[in-house]
Amino acid sequence: MSKNTEKKHSFSLFKRLFGGKSKNEEKDVLMEEALQSPLRTIIKNFVANKLAMGGLIIFLVMFAIVLIGPVFYPITLSEKEETQTNIAPGMGMMKVPEGLAGNVREISVGSTFSVGVDNNGKVYVWGQPKISQKIDIAKDMPSQKEMGNVVAVSAGFDHAMALNDEGELFCWGSDRLGQVKIPGEVKRKKIVQIEAGYQMSYILTTGGEIFYWGNENLNDVRVTKKKGNGHIAKIAVCNNTLMALTENGEVVHMGSSGMDVDKIPEGLGKVTDIATTSNACAALSEDGTITVWGQATGDIRIAPEYEGNVVSMYGGRFHFTMLTDTGKVYAWGDNSKKQIEVPESLKDVERIYGGTYQNYALTKSGKLVSWGLKGYLMGTDDLGRDVFARLLNGGRMTMTIGAISVIISTVIGVIIGGISGFFGGWIDIVLQRITEIVSSLPFLPMAMILTSIIGNSLSENARIALIMVILGVLSWTSLARLVRAQVLAEREKEFVTAATAMGVKRSAIVFKHIIPNVISVIIVSATLDFASCMLTESSLSYLGFGVKLPRPTWGNMLNGCVNSVVIQNYWWRWVFPAIMLSICVICINMVGDGLRDAIDPKSNER
């Protein structure tokens, strides 16, 4: 053979090894497979399976989201917010109607909705005004013709109020506790301020008198002459009580003693303005000092340093917002909904409006700027918790339990199956009888019994660890039988005979020589078992025998399905967890099937 022929042959072989093609002929498929390693062949077959690759990509994306998401959307297990319960998915809480955006007279923020009035006296409602299936603040609002030229509005927990230029008062929304039923004596009064609170309605008359109606059993309001009624200049609602500012600059609690806001600090001097959150009160003294008291914690007690003089103050659910005569806005307090993140570009502000978790600022140029809670991507549950944040944190818990459980079951199954298949004899008989006993146990009832008996005496973290162990200990039998069958076939091959003749320990032969040859089958089985463990954990949590609330998993987030009201009216509380769990399990099964087909291509022909 000439040197040129040898070079061409060598170059052609090199190109075959690394996937190239010769110039004159197509690469032979059988020769290509002969030159590829088994692992490379498996990977190539798996990648060629578009369904399996799609499932793998979707699963990896979901895994990355639930792994990283809780860092940006953490949850507090003790979280409970009664003003945000069962809110439908949407991000339009601060989407101001176009007709109002450049023509604002006043804006009032309620629990989940806002009410505004423009300079022409027209009233607008936006946000999440549907309080229940029967109560919709937007639809229940009186007609504009009926209300006339409105000059003031106020939004409460489940109702709203409006006052026109003729002094006529309108209330609409929930009237379950009489909060929208205007007393006859109020209709004869000249009103200067209206306030819609938590199932209560308040008005302040020109004579400085306060009138209120609604749920008086829940609300602690005791208006008497002794407390200054008749000389009131301003009122501010504080959750289920009322604070007032008298004409001579004194702050008065219009409720019974013993409440936190009743402990008004001494030495306030003459107060020019007050604002309230759900559990605290802020007073602006004549010298520019702002004092906060009540059930207030953290930074809300300390007002930020500001320039100029305070023009107005508003209180939200757990924060305060104020405007100075320099046109700058300052906010402080709780920031769980980004309600104190004032835009840095905001300047030359003329007026501000605030409420529960939203803030609005009207600039001198007529631009309306908003910041705070935009809404909930996947709605909220019956305790006002963000479903999206709980879905991320619950997914991490569900996947973690499934992964650790399948690791435990795989280790047990490989050990028992390997020993049973290789040694045979009485060892095989004993191990197989144990396997049959465990596999004969009713899986789900047994897991429920064990978690109920043992888990009730443990802490939550120990209970979660116990669930992982129980799922692993009860789900290894199928893998053990599969490994035993593979080992029985492998132990008769020549390399096992050679290793035995060389004096290699039998345990080393099993776990260092035989098991690696059947590892592909183990991987496929473990992948499919991963999906099964996730479903089992979700079933246990759904039935109340797994991870307990308030710690979320995809399983216990579905327990609202037992209530027909939730299924019909609050679909987002169960649809999103069900979709996420279904997609994840389907993708894992697709990956397992793809691995099985890649390892054994002949299975496609069966």
Q: What is the mean pLDDT of the chain?
A: 86
The distance of Cα 334 from the centroid of its chain, to the nearest Å, equals 18
**Tokens 């600059």 appear where?**
249
Give yes or no: residues 412 and 521 share one domain.
Answer: yes
Among 23-37, 258-272, 424-438, the minimum mean pLDDT is found in: 23-37
Among 50-64, 152-166, 456-470, 569-583, the minimum mean pLDDT is found in: 456-470
| Whole-angstrom distance, CA of residue 29 vs CA of residue 45 | 14
Is residue 2's pLDDT more than 60? no
Q: Any idea what DSSP says for residue 143?
A: P
- Are the C-beta atoms of residues 164 and 147 closer than 8 Å to each other? yes
- Are the C-beta atoms of residues 30 and 572 closer than 8 Å to each other? no
The answer to whether the Cα torsion of 501, 505, 510, 514 is positive or negative is negative
Q: Could you report the per-residue pLDDT of 130-167, keeping only the tens digit for each?
A: 988 889 999 999 999 999 999 999 999 999 999 999 99
Main-chain phi, psi angles of 172, to 5 degrees: -150, 165
Give yes or no: residues 60 and 190 share one domain.
Answer: no
Contact partners, residue 514, CB within 8 Å, separation at least 6: 418, 422, 487, 490, 491, 496
pLDDT at 486: 86
Contact partners, residue 305, CB within 8 Å, separation at least 6: none
Give yes or no: residues 68 and 91 share one domain.
Answer: no
| Of the candidates 526, 323, 305, 335, the residue with the CA atom closest to the CA atom of residue 413 | 526
pLDDT at 378: 94
Q: Tell me if 361 is assigned to some domain.
A: no
Among 22-31, 180-189, 493-502, 523-532, the minimum mean pLDDT is found in: 22-31
pLDDT confidence of 298, banded at 50, 70, 90?
Answer: low
Give yes or no: residues 178 and 58 share one domain.
Answer: no
Residue bearing the bigger pLDDT, 256 or 590: 590
Q: Could you report the per-residue pLDDT of 567-581, keeping only the tens digit for each?
A: 888 999 999 999 999
CATH number at 541 reads: 1.10.3720.10
Q: Tell me if 81 is assigned to some domain.
A: no
Give yes or no: residues 62 and 123 share one domain.
Answer: no
| DSSP 3-state of 206 | coil
Q: Tell me if 307 is assigned to some domain.
A: no
| Whole-angstrom distance, CA of residue 246 vs CA of residue 251 | 6
Q: Tell me if 21 is assigned to some domain.
A: no
| Whole-angstrom distance, CA of residue 79 vs CA of residue 594 | 42
Neighbours of 325 (CB within 10 A): 10
Which residue, 212, 243, 259, sits at the end of a domain?
Answer: 212
Which residue, 188, 212, 236, sits at the end of a domain?
Answer: 212
| Whole-angstrom distance, CA of residue 333 vs CA of residue 321 | 9
Is residue 13's pLDDT more than 50? no
| Whole-angstrom distance, CA of residue 58 vs CA of residue 64 | 10
Give yes or no: residues 406 and 555 share one domain.
Answer: yes
Among 222-226, 342-346, 363-367, 464-468, the minimum mean pLDDT is found in: 222-226
Contact partners, residue 263, CB within 8 Å, separation at least 6: 293, 294
Among 13-22, 83-92, 228-237, 246-255, the minimum mean pLDDT is found in: 13-22
Average pLDDT value for residue range 120-124? 95
Q: Could you report the per-residue pLDDT of 313-355, keeping only the tens digit for each?
A: 999 999 999 999 999 999 999 998 999 999 999 999 999 999 9
Give yes or no: residues 57 and 101 share one domain.
Answer: no
The two tokens of residue 233 are 């200049």
Q: Tell me if 205 is assigned to some domain.
A: yes
Give yes or no: residues 69 and 153 share one domain.
Answer: no
Average pLDDT value for residue range 286-296? 88
Return the H-helix or E-strand segment holding 104. strand 104-109
| DSSP 3-state of 319 | strand
pLDDT confidence of 28, banded at 50, 70, 90?
Answer: low
- Sort strands 113-118 and 123-127 into parallel, antiparallel or unpaired: antiparallel
This prediction has a pTM of 0.84
Which residue, 212, 243, 275, sits at the end of a domain?
Answer: 212
Q: Tell me if 286 is assigned to some domain.
A: no
| Whole-angstrom distance, CA of residue 418 vs CA of residue 432 | 12
pLDDT at 37: 62
Domain count, the chain: 2
**Tokens 């309600």 appear where?**
339
Inter-axis angle of helices 387-423 and 50-72, to 10 degrees? 130
Main-chain phi, psi angles of 346, to 5 degrees: -75, 125
Q: DSSP string spanning 383-451?
A: TS-BHHHHHHHHHHHHHHHHHHHHHHHHHHHHHHHHHHHHH-HHHHHHHHHHHHHHHHS-HHHHHHHHH
Cis peptide before 550 (omega within 30 of 0): yes
Burial class (CB in 10 A: 0-12, 13-18, 19+), 121: middle
Tell me which amino acid residue 48 is. Answer: A
| Whole-angstrom distance, CA of residue 418 vs CA of residue 375 | 55
Q: Tell me if 456 is assigned to some domain.
A: yes
Among 258-267, 331-340, 345-354, 453-462, the minimum mean pLDDT is found in: 453-462
Give yes or no: residues 59 and 188 share one domain.
Answer: no
Q: Calculate Rg over the CA atoms of the chain.
A: 35
Give yes or no: residues 56 and 97 share one domain.
Answer: no
Q: Print the domain residue range for 526.
A: 48-73+386-605
The two tokens of residue 92 are 């339009």
| Whole-angstrom distance, CA of residue 469 vs CA of residue 478 | 17
DSSP percent split of the chain into helix, strand, coil, nearest 5? 45, 20, 35
Give yes or no: residues 66 and 127 share one domain.
Answer: no
**Extended beta strands in 215-346, E state:** 232-238, 241-246, 251-253, 271-276, 280-285, 290-294, 310-315, 319-324, 329-333
| Distance separating the N- and C-terminal Cα atoms of the chain | 47
The two tokens of residue 2 are 């000439």
CATH number at 182 reads: 2.130.10.30
- Are the C-beta atoms of residues 292 and 301 closer than 8 Å to each other? yes
Is residue 17's pLDDT more than 50? no
The two tokens of residue 417 are 């199956």
Average pLDDT value for residue range 286-315? 87
pLDDT confidence of 24, banded at 50, 70, 90?
Answer: very low
Q: Any idea what DSSP says for residue 24?
A: S
Distances 95 to 139, 156, 370 between C-alpha atoms, Å: 18, 18, 9
pLDDT confidence of 601, banded at 50, 70, 90?
Answer: low
Burial class (CB in 10 A: 0-12, 13-18, 19+), 78: exposed
Q: Tell me if 494 is assigned to some domain.
A: yes
Average pLDDT value for residue range 208-218? 88
pLDDT confidence of 70, banded at 50, 70, 90?
Answer: very high
Inter-axis angle of helices 50-72 and 572-599, to 10 degrees? 140
Give yes or no: residues 66 and 122 share one domain.
Answer: no
Among 31-45, 270-284, 338-352, 491-505, the minimum mean pLDDT is found in: 31-45
How crowded is the C-beta side of 308, counted as CA atoms within 13 Å?
A: 13
